[in-house]
Structure 1
Amino acid sequence: MSVLSPCHRGHVRRLGLVRPAGLALLLWVLMPLTARAAPLALEDGANRLTVDTATLLARPDAAEISVPADIGYGGVQRRYRAVPLASVLALLPAPPPPGGVLEAAATDGFAAQVPLHLILQTTPGGPRAWLALEEPDSPWPHLPGKQASAGPFYIVWERPEAGRISPEYWPYQLAALRFVQRPAVRWPQIAADPSLPADHPARRGQDVFTSICLACHRMNGGGSADMGPDLNRPMGPTEYFQPGALRRYLRDPASVRNWPEQKMPGFAADQISETELDALLAYLSHMAARRPAGAR
């Protein structure tokens, strides 16, 4: 079947675009998005390169993998054509920064900060990160409650339970992967007071915030994500939520307030334990007291 309908062909003739180059361009524009090779940016600070689905699918280390409990698709088992994420990152000329993270930026403003040691570790039986690739001729189903799939690029994990991989370390609809410094180095304004004792719960809460909340929210302007509001400017949630309501909101947002465009998920106890939740609330309360004067 022709890509161009009769009216399209007539329009092309009237505009004089039947030259081969012009027709090829028009055919590309009219081609369904799923049939095009999708680009992915890789960055290490000094260098930036682009790979696409076609190139990655043709790699010799591309493999069929099974994900028993897919976070993005509601915990069901799914199969993917994927390449080891560490191998993809090895395409970058510069080495990863010691103690750094991989910023996985999505098209919707989500920006996960995944510790590089989790991705690059080779411990037998440990978690292993893969970059799942949506094949143009075999599109994935829509994500639960969304009108799009997780593609064209999606980080999935084998044996995530072996490393207690955060649900935010499964970013989908990726546009870019970047080597960056750990968040508290990039954005000092998200750090708890350095004079706090080492065992202060706010210090542990900062770690929880970095692994869970920073993928969608900022803190005092620090962060890359644009999905949710800043959690301390102009006010922090511990200032406008009753303690019990805030706990309930973090576990089940829709049970506290709900609207059609709500995006925030709830976090079960196997994702944020009660001890971690206590620490996160201590951090948020601590940071409210440290908000820069005049911050909005």
Structure 2
Amino acid sequence: MRLYLALLCLLATLPLAAAPLNLQLGSQERTWQSEQLLAHPQARDITIEQDVAYKRTMHYRAVPLAVLLEGVGPQDHLQAVALDGFAAEMPAGPLLQQGPAQAWLAVDDPAHPWPALAPGKPGAGPFYLVWTQPQASGIRPEQWPFQIATIRRLAPVETRFPALLPDPAAGEPVRQGFALFQQNCLACHRLNGAGDAQFGPDLNLPHNPTEYFQPGYLRQYIRNPQSLRHWPQAKMPGFSEQVLNEAELDALLAYLKHMAGRKVQ
């Protein structure tokens, strides 16, 4: 028993293993280890004052994401895939810009790991996409994916998943809602079976939420999910008016209602 306890104590003092980051950028594929990125010539110590994941000021060792995206152009489309299946769709343009809003890949140091996101939950590592001055480019919370394992270049969402497309004759609110759906919902949800996320339920099959929620309750659910359905492991964030204003929420709901009439059989 003493030997067993001694081994447990030894393991507790050992640093966590380094983690790989897989970059699948078409013909350019590379795997970076966390210790390589921590020692990267352009790695910097940065401060994020309004960190989305931790909801407080955080300090990170990070690399400008643009320097890792060799061969990627502003017109390209990227996807960050997390360890839990969260798949964030990201136009490459904002990720490549040098400012004022700038994307950084924060790297969890195995010798000094980041804290847990909540009691009983892991931290945001091994890799976390953070932004300096995000308000300058209207960066949304869904554009801060954490626990990243892979970043890959893909065709745009509308090309990969035509089942998500609204009717070409749909009005501007529906088209705007489609864009907002990609930014805010597609990371966790599929629709008509289309999408890469493994995280949340399909939002059209077998039923669209506009079909079974009263309108007022659906708006409340999007704003504050736990105010309607409370459970300890709930993961859906609330979308405040700072993230999704009333006009944008109207457009998102218009898209969902429109797609209830375009189910894929």
Q: Same fold (TM over 0.5)?
A: yes
Displacement, 1:208?
Answer: 0.6
- Out of 223, 240, 256, the position equivalent to 2:228 is 256
1:113 counterpart (89, 96, 112): 89
Q: CA deviation at 1:122?
A: 3.2
Offset, 1:252: 0.4
From 108, 133, 147, the counterpart of 1:173? 147
Q: 1:33 to 1:129 in 2, by over 3 A?
A: farther
Q: Distance in 1 between matches of 2:264 and 2:245?
A: 30
Structure 1 residues 218, 32: CA separation in 2 closer, same or farther (over 3 Å shift)? farther
Q: Tell whether 2:118 aligns with 1:138.
A: no
In structure 2, what is the Cα distance between the partners aligned to 1:291 and 1:69?
39
Residue 86 of structure 1 is matched in structure 2 by 66
Structure number with greater Rg is: 1
Q: Deviations over 1:14-73 (max 9, x none)?
A: xxxxxxxxxxxxx9xx68785311111100234432111011111110000010100000
SS at match of 1:220: coil
Aligned length: 261
1:201 has 2:177 as partner = no
Contact 1:155-1:170 within 8 A present in 2 as well: yes
Task: Name which of structure 1's ranges 41-50 and 225-234 shifts more when overlaid on structure 2.
Answer: 41-50
- Counterpart CA distance in 2 for 1:255 and 1:187 is 32
SS of residue matched to 1:70: coil
Whichever residue aligns with residue 212 of structure 2, its letter is Y
CA drift of 1:221 comes to 1.4
Task: Give 1:275 shift.
Answer: 0.3
Instruction: Report the CA distance between 1:239 and its aligned residue.
Output: 0.6
CA distance in 1 between partners of 2:162 and 2:146 (Å)? 27
CA contact (8 A) 2:74 2:91 kept: no
Is 1:41 aligned to 2:22, yes or no? yes
> Is 1:239 aligned to residue 215 of structure 2?
no
- Residue by residue, what CA displacement relative to the aligned partner does 1:84-108 show, whole Å, maximum 9, x if unpaired? 0011122xxxx33663322010001
Q: Would the alpha carbon gap of residues 33 and 270 (structure 1) be closer, same or farther in structure 2, given more than 3 Å must change?
A: farther
Question: In the alignment, residue 61 of structure 1 is paired with which amino acid?
Answer: Q
> What runs of 5+ residues in structure 2 fail to find an aligned partner?
none
- TM-superposed CA distance for 1:158, in Å, is 0.3
Counterpart-to-counterpart distance in 1, 2:5 and 2:58: 40
Distance in 1 of aligned mates of 2:13 and 2:255: 47
**Mind listing any 5+ residue stretches in structure 1 that lack a counterpart?**
10-26
The one-character-per-residue Cα deviations of 1:210-267 (angstroms, maximum 9, x if unpaired) are 0000010011111111110011111111011110000000000011111222110101
User: Which secondary structure does the structure 2 equivalent of 1:208 belong to?
Assistant: helix
Cross-structure match for 1:72 = 53
- Cα distance, 1:147–1:215 mapped onto 2, change above 3 Å: same
Tell me, in whole angstroms, the C-alpha distance in 2 between the residues paired with 1:255 and 1:129: 33
User: Percent identity, aligned pairs only?
Assistant: 48
The question of whether the paired residues in 2 share the 8 Å contact of 1:97 and 1:181 is answered with no
Return the match for 2:156 from 182, 192, 204.
Answer: 182
Contact 1:97/1:179 (<8 A) preserved: no
Aligned-partner Cα distance in 2 for 1:176–1:87: 16
Post-superposition, which runs of at least 4 consecutive aligned residues in structure 1 deviate over 4 A? Answer: 5-9, 30-34
CA RMSD, Structure 1 to Structure 2 (Å)? 2.0
More deviation, 139-148/112-121: 139-148
Deviations 1:106-159 (A, max 9, x none): 001101111110011235xx2100000111111111113552110110000000
Give the conservation status (yes or no) of the 8 Å contact 2:74–2:93.
no
For residues 49 and 108 of structure 2, the distance between their equivalents in structure 1, rounded to whole angstroms, comes to 18
Q: Distance in 2 between matches of 1:38 and 1:167?
A: 24
